[in-house]
Amino acid sequence: MSHVATRSPSPGSPTLHRRLGRLDLVAMGVGAIVGAGIFVTTGVAAATKAGPAIVLSFVLAGIICVLVALCYSELASMTPRSGSAYTYTRESMGEGPAFLVGWNLLLELVVAGSAVAIGWSGLFTAALKSLFGVTLPTAITAGPSAGGVINVPAVAITAVIVGILVLDVRMTAAVVKTLVVVTIGVLVLVVVIGAPHISTTHWTPFAPFGVHGIAAGAALAFFAYLGFDIVATSAEETKRPGRDLPWGIIGSVVVATVLYVAVAAVLTGVAPYRSLNNEAPVATALEALGAGWIGDVILVASVIALTKGLLMLFYGQTRLVFALCRDGMLPRGLSATSSRGAPRRLVLVLGVVGAVIAGLLPIDTVAELVNVGALFAFAAVALGVLILRYRAPDRPRSFRVPLMPLVPVLAIAGCVWLLTTLDELTWVRFAVWSAAGLAVYLIYSRRHAVTSPVPAPESQLIGARG
């Protein structure tokens, strides 16, 4: 599996432009993390996995993610290139394992984007009904398994996101920073309005599914923490990756955990947890309060906030596949960039794939598929830190994981524990997808792979102005 490539990339290999600063990274991380988990998976996790103890699930998921984020930060400061966990695994374990990590990250990000598009459709439909009394027919708001034909709003928002991403990355960052402010405002408003109406009777029993349910909820809650991985994919577009990537990665996880715990406590405190098993749990909780016009305001703002999360998920998947294509793991022609540094071909191709998934599949199937790929990649990154500390102890690291080797070992253990909570069907799908990836690697990637580009010296990157 650790095939050694013999071909080097040509001098004209596609590159991305370094235009993102620390504020951009933190905003992008928070933008990707805060929104999707609250507005899409919180209800599913509370109703089917953890009950009101979903707040503990978010704490557990947040702790494990902080451990993984520390590992990401060290590798990102060492290898400031696009590709995230794929690139780091290639550095530490070689080409074959790296491709499988990238292949499963691809599953994670593509399916996550589709899941958020489905959630966006649910919120948009609810907003139309609440504000204008318009009820869209099921035929155009759900996939075949949910009694519809195609989820048209999910397909439409995917098309809008593709339109933004074909432009300069600075346009994407500007849109995200604006929408992050809206998102945090929405979540603060939810807490302020809901907190006085919390009934502790809704928290009894607090953990109806036991400790296993809390762990299962944490595994599903991982869907909410994909943002720091997306920050890592922006390494090649960051002005000072050695300094700014750790801030973006770790900071976004900490901020998100605080917000998630607060909002999840309010949602399960104002409405029965079983009533939150739908695509718009925040709207459901507010309806239980009889929030009136303020509920409509929050519903509209939630649609805007989820748009931001979808934008970042599609951004992340394009940068991952860009790295795979540029390294020859997938067709190199797809890595071509425009004069503004945007991989337009990839954006269009992945947009079509995401639209098809969002238009035809239900949200519960999509969400569980995301987490198995994420946990697999996170464990690989933590293992990569251990390997590179042994193989290349003197290699420059502008950020170093503290308490070695405890932190990466705990990160791996946490990921493995959460993996054991996923159901059998999810593992079957994961096995089928991984087998398909192995076939692609053996038939195509192993023959076409090129040596990874050598990053610029860290001293140059730290002072780069883009």
The answer to whether the peptide bond before residue 205 is cis (omega within 30 degrees of 0) is yes
Residue 462 lies in a domain: no
**What percentage of residues in the chain have a pLDDT greater than 70?**
85
What is the band of 383 on the pLDDT scale with cuts at 50, 70, 90? very high
Residue 188 lies in a domain: yes
Given a cut of 60, is residue 9 above it in pLDDT? no
Residue 370 lies in a domain: yes
pLDDT digits (tens, 9 = 90+) for 182-221: 878 878 888 888 889 899 999 999 999 999 899 888 877 7
- Bigger pLDDT: 447 vs 166: 447
Given a cut of 50, is residue 2 above it in pLDDT? no
What is the band of 14 on the pLDDT scale with cuts at 50, 70, 90? low
At a CB cut-off of 8 Å and minimum separation 6, what does 120 contact?
A: 153, 154, 157, 303, 306, 307, 310
What span, in angstroms and rounded, lies between the C-alpha atoms of 82 and 466? Answer: 16
What span, in angstroms and rounded, lies between the C-alpha atoms of 15 and 236? Answer: 8
Residue 410 lies in a domain: yes
At a CB cut-off of 8 Å and minimum separation 6, what does 180 contact?
A: 27, 30, 31, 34, 308
- Bigger pLDDT: 303 vs 230: 303
pLDDT digits (tens, 9 = 90+) for 50-100: 999 999 999 998 898 889 988 988 888 787 777 788 988 998 899 999 999
- Bigger pLDDT: 297 vs 123: 123
Please report the pLDDT score of residue 226 as a whole number.
Answer: 65
Residue 465 lies in a domain: no
Please report the pLDDT score of residue 207 as a whole number.
Answer: 94
Residue 11 lies in a domain: no
Given a cut of 90, is residue 238 above it in pLDDT? no
Please report the pLDDT score of residue 223 as a whole number.
Answer: 62
Residue 414 lies in a domain: yes
What is the band of 459 on the pLDDT scale with cuts at 50, 70, 90? very low
Residue 133 lies in a domain: yes
Given a cut of 80, is residue 305 above it in pLDDT? no
Highest average pLDDT, of 15-19, 174-178, 278-282, comes from 174-178
Please report the pLDDT score of residue 150 as a whole number.
Answer: 92
Q: State the DSSP H helix or E strand holding residue 318, giving kind and residue range, or none if neither.
A: helix 293-326
177 half-sphere exposure, CB direction, 13 A CA radius: 13
Residues 244-257, mean pLDDT to the nearest whole number: 83
Domain that holds residue 116: 22-452
Q: At what angle do helices 406-419 and 54-78 cross, to 10 degrees?
A: 130
Please report the pLDDT score of residue 354 as a whole number.
Answer: 87
What span, in angstroms and rounded, lies between the C-alpha atoms of 347 and 40? Answer: 24
Given a cut of 60, is residue 415 above it in pLDDT? yes
Q: CATH code at 117?
A: 1.20.1740.10
Given a cut of 80, is residue 351 above it in pLDDT? yes
What span, in angstroms and rounded, lies between the C-alpha atoms of 337 and 245? Answer: 23
**Total domains in the fold of the chain:** 1
